[in-house]
Structure 1
Amino acid sequence: MLSETTRAFLEPVIGQPLGDETIWLAALTHGSTGEKRNYERLEFLGDRVLGLSVAEWLYQHSGEAEGRLSQRLNALVSRATCASIARAIGLGPHMVLGKQARDDGGADSENILGDVMEALIGACFLVHGFEAAQKMVRRLWATTLEGKTGQRKHPKSALQEWAAGNRRRMPEYKLVDRSGPDHASQFTVEVAIHNVGRAQATANSKQEAETLAAEEFMRKFA
């Protein structure tokens, strides 16, 4: 069962009475403990509840186009953001980890913190329903939602704007190499601006390689 300290920690985080503690204990428990009931299934559920809660907030509070909304959504529900919020509320010490995971720094692992944060959202959904889980997300994510997370321009857009602002030709992207098997292909893309320079990057998809190449170009020449 939960310790008094963890109960005192959880109730204000959830914003509701805990009720049956077994689901909250599962949400805090890492697979390294060997326990059959751990956070994995709850994390799967919480990820979807988080996504819908944030998407609805963005729809209601932003007039941006679908592409920009998707960009912000991806940033706001990312594992890095979930882990940042978990650290902000002091989640780490309340997670139940196996000895090896704890010795390996699991209490401050971005992956584990992010997953447990989502698991708690999933547990709240199961125990109290979507409205309560949505309120939990909006309360914990309030500062992040109102901030600049996910509002950085996409590197390809930023490069295009830089070129236009400096009266240069538009960037030209070219696939210069594709290697590896179909299930693990590597794409190398080159981006060039006439009379400025060129940059290359390699990634698992052509689109990602173009993005990384634009970032590298901006780093070198902008």
Structure 2
Amino acid sequence: MSIVDFLAPEKWLRPDGGPRYVQLRRRLSDGVDQGVLKAGSSLPPEREIAAITDMSRVTVRKAIHALAQDGIVIQKQGSGSFVASDTPKIEQSLSRLTSFSEDMARRGMTSTSIWLERGIFMPSPDEVLALALSPDASVSRIARLRTADGKPMAIERASLSTEMLPNPLLVETSLYEVLEQAGYRPARALQKISAINLEVDNATLLEVEPGKAGLRIERTSYLSDGRTVEFTQSIYRGDAYNFVAELRLAKE
């Protein structure tokens, strides 16, 4: 069904249905639910909706503003209004050291993994430096696509010394659970976050268009005695995460 047919007022506008902007807001919301207006697509311009529905632009603007307050649409200055993505938006604290599986479970979401790589390899120069390995040491690597409620969220590539993770095949869901059972649960970590544009391979895995915004996070985790546990390089969807840090005023 076209948006013109869907918004034809004789199909839904009622004299006793309440304020006209409320009825329009409800109809547009139904359009999102029914797939007439798809996630990420732009809404028709206000003047076009006004012409189709025989409403004033003030009424249309009020309905769209109500949708934006509900998070159903996103208004962008100079670009118009867009249906919000159906990708869950995760607010991730930078002050807590938790695994992806733990984060999703805490939010009541189901996490799954699609394995990209898992095994023991010769370390790269970056891994030798980050994990404080000898050049002739081996390194355990696990790489996987992480999903939440079926939506791809991040590509996670973790490297550990074989002392910390002698058998990468032991990791089935949570890496931190395996490390905790072995007595190697990280106690602290350093993270570096940078903004990137997703390259074709990563964008394909994350089911977004190449060139879309993403986040690259490098994390090095340590035991309480200072030994390095893991070196993780992750790529996150830019539209799926908000990273939050609590800051306190420094004492002079």
TM-score grouping bracket, smaller chain normalisation: under 0.3
Query: TM-score w.r.t. structure 1 length?
Result: 0.27
- Kindly indicate which of the two structures has a greater share of residues assigned to strand: 2
- Kindly indicate which of the two structures has a greater share of residues assigned to helix: 1
Query: TM-score w.r.t. structure 2 length?
Result: 0.25
| Greater Rg by CA | 2
Higher relative contact order (CA 8 A, sep 6+): 1
